[in-house]
Amino acid sequence: MKSDRRTATRKQVCPLTISHFSVVESMVKLAKKGHVVNASAKGFLVHIKREDLIPKSLKSNLNLEVLLGNGVIVKIEEMNLELFGRISRTKLLGKEGFELAIDYSEEAPLYWRECLMDLLPTPEEFSDFQPNNNLISDDTSPSKIHTVATSKSIPRNVISIKGVKSR
């Protein structure tokens, strides 16, 4: 069984919002939302609150083992990126909800997965950034958006690209 353990280095990431979480084969939507909290070149970890699960059979269950092996599609909202993978592990986190380990699909080349790892934001990259609570409220209608972030409000290391000097 030890050969099934992960060997890829994990990276703690800023919680990234998942806005679409569906089973590939049936396109049944599993959850309203979730968050990617950890990633590696092999896969990523998603936290989902029980109340965000859509099928009633999953909400009333203490484990999600029925999902093991299912192909899923998730959309990371902040990156406008859809990822395909397979659920390899589930875990109950108590009142916080569930943790799902999702392995990338076999078609995703290793170099692409490694590049994605470089693009995922870490908590350290945003430690100096104090978000303005008035930026966007839960209601994102134009009348509710108070201010717009400018490049001056974003830390320099967030908007610079390695090897490219910013002006």
Topology (CATH level 3) of domain 2-119: Thrombin, subunit H (2.40.10)
Other residues' Cβ atoms within 10 Å of the Cβ of residue 18: 23
Query: Which DSSP string corresponds to 64-109?
Result: -GGGTT-EEEEEEGGGTEEEEEEEEEEEE-GGG-EEEEEEEPTTS-
Helix/strand/coil for 5: coil
Residue in 41, 15, 39, 22 with CA at minimum distance from that of residue 115? 41
Q: With contact defined as beta carbons under 8 Å apart, do 121 and 79 qualify?
A: no
State the residue for tokens 């909290």: 37
Distance in angstroms (rounded) separating the CA atoms of residues 121 and 14: 6
pLDDT tens digit string along 31-79? 999 999 999 889 999 999 989 988 887 877 788 888 899 999 999 998 8
All CATH 2.40.10.220 domain ranges in the chain, comma separated: 2-119
* Amino acid of residue 47: H
Which of the pair, 135 or 95, is modelled with greater confidence? 95
DSSP letter assigned to residue 161 = B
Classify burial at 74, counting beta carbons within 10 Å of its beta carbon; exposed 0-12, middle 13-18, buried 19 or more: buried
Is residue 16 within 8 A of residue 76, CB to CB? The reply is yes
DSSP label at 123?
Answer: G
Averaged pLDDT score across all residues of the chain:
75
Q: Quick: pLDDT tens for 128-154.
A: 554 444 443 444 444 433 333 433 444
